[in-house]
Amino acid sequence: MANLSDRLDVRLARWLLMCHDRVDGDMIHITHDYMAVMLGTHRSAVTSALHVLEGERMIQTERGSVRIVDRPRLETAAQDTYGLAEAEYRRLVAPFGKSPA
């Protein structure tokens, strides 16, 4: 389970994947300020973590938006904080998200 003990880039990767599961397409319209509030950190820390993910070519950022470019690598970056709960939801309830069933 993702929590404050995980590194920010890991928590951010998980949070972006969760958002990606809930939007049409690959563009998530969101600000650095909002991500900071949701992750319980400073906006400048979110900007640094986004730069790490962008440098690894998992995402592309523009003012007010994040595009998911390489979802499989982003899932790897999220480590074990993403995937288990989503797979269990698919098993018990219904298809969900953009990852394979």
Taking only the tens place, the pLDDT of each residue in 19-49 is 999 999 999 999 999 999 999 999 999 999 9
Domains along the sequence of the chain with CATH: 8-92 (1.10.10.10)
Residue 2 scores a pLDDT above 60: no
Full-model pTM:
0.88
Please give the backbone phi and psi of residue 16, each rounded to the nearest 5 degrees, phi first. Answer: -65, -40
Token digits for 51? 């730069």
φ/ψ region of 83 (left if φ > 0, alpha if ψ in -120 to 50, else beta) reads: left
Residue 101 scores a pLDDT above 70: no
* Spatial separation of the C-alpha atoms in residues 90 and 101, rounded to whole Å: 7
